[in-house]
Amino acid sequence: MILIKQVETYSPEKIGRRDVLMGGEKILEISETGLDTGNLPVTVIEGKGKLLIPGLIDSHVHICGGGGEGGFKTRTPEMKMTEMIQAGVTTVVGCLGTDGITRSMEGLISKVYSLREGGVSAWCYSGSYQVPVRTLTGDIMKDIMLVDPIIGIGEIALNDHRSSSPTVEELARMTSEARVGGMLAGKAGVIHCHLGDGDFDLDQIEEVLERFVLPIAQFFPTHMNRNPRLFEKGIRHALKGGMVDMTTSTTAQFIAEGEVPAAEGLYRLRQAGVASSRITFSSDGHGVLPKFGPNGEFKGFGVGRLDSLIETVREAVNQFKIPLEEALEPVTSTPADYLKLNAKGRISVGKDADLVLLDQDHQIQDVIARGKICMADGVMQVRNTIEMD
């Protein structure tokens, strides 16, 4: 058992100074007045001077590696579990990207199980950029209904020169199959859509919504902050009840070329009246941040980082004066609710014991994943299963 004593707690809403007791993988009790554990064997963490927040949820990570647009030498490596812990991320949703050939669904599922065995939480989407969707079982509904970690499909590329250019009818059919599979399995059943830099923005999604009887929230479009035009359309999409996922990994060049930093995007979305339940952040961790020339030629790349999530939270608080509880929602309660990760995203009795302790500057000090201390006072307490010395 672990007891965190008298810590300022954000659930993510601010609930004040609390004692938080956890046992096994769950939060057992939360007390304002203090908890007496008697003679029980308890590890005590002093919370004075720290802030307690839920473990972060990253809903778009290339856990098997990504990239490859510049040839085999530009393939990024698999994500390590310790990268999650260092970033305060206790839950990831894995995806494939441009390369749905050498990065397979079998490999993706295997990585999910590897992370789970390592002590963190992981789910994934079925498919990659390409259509028809390269599923595990050969069928979208079967994947979602019968394979525990699969909660939807994606990331399906739209409006991008790397997309396989699905028709509106194909997009509607995929969305319907994911939705029904999700309904029958009690899962989110979303279609996670990569939005590129083309001129069509959300046009295909909007046409599906006009022509077919499908709910707007079934679409989970990402990279919505990649340029000013797409971002503005994202505001309108969210005001209609759609989701907007903003990518936190970026480069100075991308921002100079017009990308809206995610922290600024949160500020502007909230100023426009978009509900917090419509906004998420994701890192695009281990994905390539590619740069292409005017004719589509590959010019170079950066790599997405999971720790860009907490950096974006800090930027939202420090630069845009967004209250911490609001800055946390896109990486805690909102993705948990939207993706139906019901034990995640909140500090509440019965929820999973996924917790992060910050100092007053919002730097990560301690990380607890599924009730196990993984980082203590900034020092890693766990190792990847296989590490080269």
pLDDT tens track for 319-377: 999 999 999 999 999 999 999 999 999 999 999 999 999 999 999 999 999 999 999 99
Q: Residues 275-279: what's their mean pLDDT?
A: 96
Examine the domain organization and report whether 42 and 89 are in the same domain: no
Examine the domain organization and report whether 79 and 210 are in the same domain: yes
Examine the domain organization and report whether 137 and 213 are in the same domain: yes
Catalytic residues: 284
**Longest CA span, the chain:** 70
Examine the domain organization and report whether 28 and 164 are in the same domain: no
* 387 within domain boundaries: no
* 250 within domain boundaries: yes
Q: Please check the confidence at residue 389 and state whether its pLDDT lies above 60.
A: no
* 388 within domain boundaries: no
The CATH number assigned to the domain holding 359 equals: 2.30.40.10
pLDDT band at 96 (very low <50, low <70, confident <90, very high): very high
* 211 within domain boundaries: yes
Instruction: Provide the residue range defining the domain that includes 354.
Output: 2-53+347-380
Examine the domain organization and report whether 30 and 114 are in the same domain: no
CA separation for the pair 93, 51 (Å, rounded): 25
What pLDDT score does 226 carry?
A: 94
The count of domains in the chain is 2
* 389 within domain boundaries: no
What pLDDT score does 37 carry?
A: 78
Examine the domain organization and report whether 31 and 163 are in the same domain: no
Examine the domain organization and report whether 228 and 84 are in the same domain: yes
Examine the domain organization and report whether 74 and 223 are in the same domain: yes
Give the residue from 349, 347, 354 showing the smallest Cα distance to 373: 354
Q: Please check the confidence at residue 251 and state whether its pLDDT lies above 70.
A: yes
List CB contacts of 61: < 8 A, sequence separation 6 or more: 79, 92, 93, 94, 95, 282, 283, 284, 285, 286, 287, 304, 306
If one compares 212 and 71, the residue with the highest pLDDT of the two is 212
pLDDT tens track for 147-201: 999 999 999 999 999 999 999 999 999 999 999 999 999 999 999 999 999 899 9
CA separation for the pair 226, 249 (Å, rounded): 11
Examine the domain organization and report whether 96 and 84 are in the same domain: yes
End-to-end, the C-alpha distance of the chain in Å comes to 32
CA separation for the pair 7, 330 (Å, rounded): 22
* 73 within domain boundaries: yes
The CATH number assigned to the domain holding 327 equals: 3.20.20.140
CA separation for the pair 84, 262 (Å, rounded): 20
Q: Please check the confidence at residue 287 and state whether its pLDDT lies above 80.
A: yes
What pLDDT score does 296 carry?
A: 67
Examine the domain organization and report whether 87 and 152 are in the same domain: yes
* 386 within domain boundaries: no
Examine the domain organization and report whether 70 and 8 are in the same domain: no
Q: Residues 211-234: what's their mean pLDDT?
A: 97
pLDDT band at 107 (very low <50, low <70, confident <90, very high): very high
Question: What tokens does 178 get?
Answer: 């994911």
Q: How far is CA 59 from CA 93, 149, 234, 388, in A?
A: 5, 13, 18, 28
Residue 285 contacts residue 249 (beta carbons within 8 Å): yes
* 86 within domain boundaries: yes
Examine the domain organization and report whether 82 and 101 are in the same domain: yes
